[in-house]
Amino acid sequence: MLAVVVDEFGGPERVELAEVPVPRPEAGQVRVRVRAAGVNPVDGAVRAGVFGGAGQRIGLGWDVAGEIDEVGADVTGHRRGDRVVGLHYGTVKPLGTHAEYAVLDATAVVAAPATVDTVAAAGLPLAGLTAARAVDLLGLAPGASVLVTGAAGVVGGLAVQLAARAGLVVTALAGAGDEDFVRSLGAAAFVPRGGAPAGPVDGVLDTAVLGEPALGFVRDGGVYVGVIPGAAPAAERGIRVEEQEVAPDGEHLARLVSLVDAGELTLRVADTFPLADVQKAHDRLATPGVRGRIILTA
């Protein structure tokens, strides 16, 4: 089969298609015939060597949407032919989901949304689980105020929707041209990039990774949640600082799928590329202002 790999770190030109053996599922795993897979910023970081792994071939891809092709031993609840989405966790791994077939733990895949196509569904797992865990870590009661930075991005847009659904009063920080869009997601107030909210907020969900400037918007004793492990600022003024790290979570992913099917969670696709054009997809990933997930189709 064909799979996207990196043998040397660098820019988009280092991403290549290789012929590799079709993987087989072990006990507790399923094999998915990949139909679509999201291209995430973490894939660009892996390609550039941020997570190490020099000297070995690394496969790319975390998100997947497709059909189960083979079921390993001791798997219940999944059958061959089931349409699924899932998260293939891991920064340095020999194969990811940017391939014709991918093997995942059975607990990491769930039934795909019925109301959106496979391409849109492929953008849900990583961004959705990241946003959902970040909102959970806020730990704020309904009526509390939260600022979401990078609110027009993929994770930020999902965080706005999930926070508003949880009863939080959301202020969205995004580009000046994004106000109507983020308000349509549920934001009650808007701050253009480079600006500041009208007053201190109970919490900040920092998908734009602003760090200390975002911490400065939080009231004393409030909460700051970052989305990249190791990138959060030091706590001060009694502020609780949290860093979320995404993990495969079929139960939580299934809840997100149900929100998509209920029309309560909007997914966005910016561009679609066939697997053979993966370098073009990585070029697009590096383009500022991408609004929506980039998807590879296999």
The predicted pLDDT at position 255 comes to 97
pTM tops 0.85, yes or no: yes
Banded model confidence at residue 241, pLDDT cuts 50, 70, 90: very high
On average, the pLDDT of the chain sits at 96
Rounded CA separation 64/71 (Å): 16
The pLDDT of residue 289:
79
Band of residue 287 on the pLDDT scale cut at 50, 70, 90: confident
Task: Report all structural domains of the chain as residue ranges with CATH numbers, in order of start.
Answer: 2-124+267-297 (3.90.180.10), 127-243 (3.40.50.720)
Query: Looking at residue 85, what is its pLDDT?
Result: 98
Cα-based distances in Å from 247 to 89, 112, 159, 185, 218: 7, 18, 17, 25, 27
pLDDT band at residue 138 under the 50/70/90 scheme: very high
Give the separation between CA 67 and CA 35, rounded to whole angstroms: 8
pLDDT in tens, 24-37: 999 999 999 999 99
